């Protein structure tokens, strides 16, 4: 569904369904909808995502690498909305490449959809995740 680096029609359909389901707040906290203004249009765009938790902190990972939501978050200065029953503002801070490996390993363990996109198995060493960390942007989720 993501062969070109972008979601095809089926992926977009699934994204709409998951965005609705995640925004209800009925699923575990790991599953969120990211709302961020488009960097050129200014229109709010929504992306259903899974988060990784490491040492009590939450992180968003781009399993597709550099993609639209990553560029939009950077253009918005990290200011986003994560709706869960109510609209909660948050600030995303990009994690430096050397610090990404533990987050990537946890992400692959907890978010099944990431496994085909991140070329390292869940039980692999941090060294193996460190080798691909520059290809997958990671953001820490902070209260706004």
Is pLDDT at 14 greater than 90 in this prediction? no
- Helix/strand/coil for 90: strand
Strands 31-37 and 44-54 turn out to be antiparallel
Per-domain residue ranges for the chain?
A: 9-143
Is pLDDT at 66 greater than 70 in this prediction? yes
Across 17-26, 65-74, 78-87, the highest mean pLDDT is recorded for 65-74
- CA atoms of 3 and 59, how far apart (whole Å): 25
Mean pLDDT of the chain: 86
The runs of H, that is alpha helices, within 1-144 are 9-23, 68-75, 101-110, 126-132
Q: Which of 60-64, 82-86, 88-92 has the lowest mean pLDDT?
A: 82-86
Over residues 24-48, mean pLDDT: 83
Total-model pTM: 0.82
Strands 89-94 and 79-81 turn out to be antiparallel
**What pLDDT is stored for residue 122 in this prediction?**
81
Percent of the chain with pLDDT over 90: 58
**What pLDDT is stored for residue 12 in this prediction?**
62
CATH 2.30.110.10 fits 9-143, yes or no: yes
- CA atoms of 78 and 36, how far apart (whole Å): 9
Are 49 and 63 in contact by the 8 Å Cβ rule? The answer is no
- CA atoms of 11 and 23, how far apart (whole Å): 18
């Amino acid at each position: 569904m993501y062969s070109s680096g972008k979601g095809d029609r089926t992926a977009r359909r699934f994204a709409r369904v998951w965005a609705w389901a995640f925004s209800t707040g009925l699923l575990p906290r790991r599953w969120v909808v990211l709302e961020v203004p488009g960097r050129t249009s200014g229109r709010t765009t929504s992306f259903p995502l899974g988060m990784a938790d490491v040492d009590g902190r939450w992180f968003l990972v781009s399993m597709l690498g550099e993609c639209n939501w990553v560029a939009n978050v950077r253009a918005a200065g990290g200011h986003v909305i994560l709706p869960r029953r109510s609209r909660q503002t948050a600030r995303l801070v990009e994690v430096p490449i050397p610090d990404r490996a533990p987050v990537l390993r946890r992400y692959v363990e907890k978010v099944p959809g990431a496994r085909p996109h991140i070329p390292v198995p869940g039980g692999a060493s941090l060294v193996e995740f460190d080798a691909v960390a520059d290809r997958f942007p990671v953001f820490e989720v902070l209260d706004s």
